[in-house]
């Protein structure tokens, strides 16, 4: 018989969990990520990003456990996050263009300043969209939950080589501690 060759995931912690290798071997504690109840639904997050050095990377973060009640509230949370992103740009870009127009009244305006004005507009749009969308959703915190989030990022790994890692944000801190324990991650 062959020994079990499954590798353990390589995970480090820096504010969030960064999975450097073997994402498929990540273990989720078998309880609801939010309430600690029995697992009834497992969620997944599909990630896709194009990098100059690595090409197109497609990864799925699978097996995120929820109970049915919490999963429906997490789906609402995902919808709220999408709405906030859309509103950020719908509000922010016109504000940025307005700031650019005001800045162009001065003859000494540089192109870099115009880019800064657009970024400033998007930041203002983010603030307004947070007030319109996120603040009310926090007031109804029992009905809307912040989902586990995952992102791809290019960074240096422990061995010093450049690579692609998966960053996992777990909003429920007690569950994050359990996640760390089952995956052998030492928290600061």
HEC string for 59-70: EEEEEEEECHHH
Under the banding of pLDDT at 50, 70 and 90, the label for residue 28 is very high
Burial of 64 (C-beta count, 10 Å sphere; 0-12/13-18/19+): buried
Residue spans of the domains in the chain: they are: 10-66+148-182, 76-139
Residue 6's pLDDT band, with cuts at 50, 70 and 90, is low
Phi, psi of 172 (to 5 degrees): -85, 105
Burial environment of residue 145 by CB neighbours within 10 A (0 to 12, 13 to 18, 19 or more): buried
For the full predicted model, state whether its pTM sits above 0.95: no
- Tell me which DSSP letter residue 4 carries: -
Which has more pLDDT, 11 or 109? Answer: 11
More confidently predicted of 5 and 181: 181
More confident residue, 145 or 45: 45
Range with lowest mean pLDDT among 66-80, 90-104, 132-146: 132-146
Identify the pLDDT of residue 3: 46
For the residues 102-113, what does the mean pLDDT come to?
71
């Amino acid at each position: 018989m062959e020994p079990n060759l499954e590798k353990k995931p390589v995970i480090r912690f820096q504010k969030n969990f960064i999975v450097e290798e073997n994402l498929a071997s990540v273990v989720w504690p078998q309880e609801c990520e939010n309430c600690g109840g029995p697992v009834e639904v497992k969620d997944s997050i599909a990630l896709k990003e194009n990098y100059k050095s690595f090409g197109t990377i497609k990864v799925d973060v699978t097996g995120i456990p929820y109970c049915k009640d919490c999963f429906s509230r997490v789906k609402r949370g995902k919808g709220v996050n999408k709405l906030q992103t859309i509103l950020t740009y719908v509000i922010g870009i016109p504000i940025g263009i307005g700031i650019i127009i005001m800045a162009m009244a001065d003859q000494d305006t540089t192109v870099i300043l115009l880019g800064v004005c657009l970024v400033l507009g998007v930041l203002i749009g983010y603030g307004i969209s947070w007030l319109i969308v996120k603040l009310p959703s926090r007031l109804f915190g029992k009905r809307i939950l912040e989902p586990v989030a995952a992102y791809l990022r290019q960074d240096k790994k422990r061995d010093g080589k450049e690579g692609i890692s998966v960053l996992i944000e777990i909003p429920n801190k007690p569950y994050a501690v359990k996640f760390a324990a089952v995956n052998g991650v030492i928290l600061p």
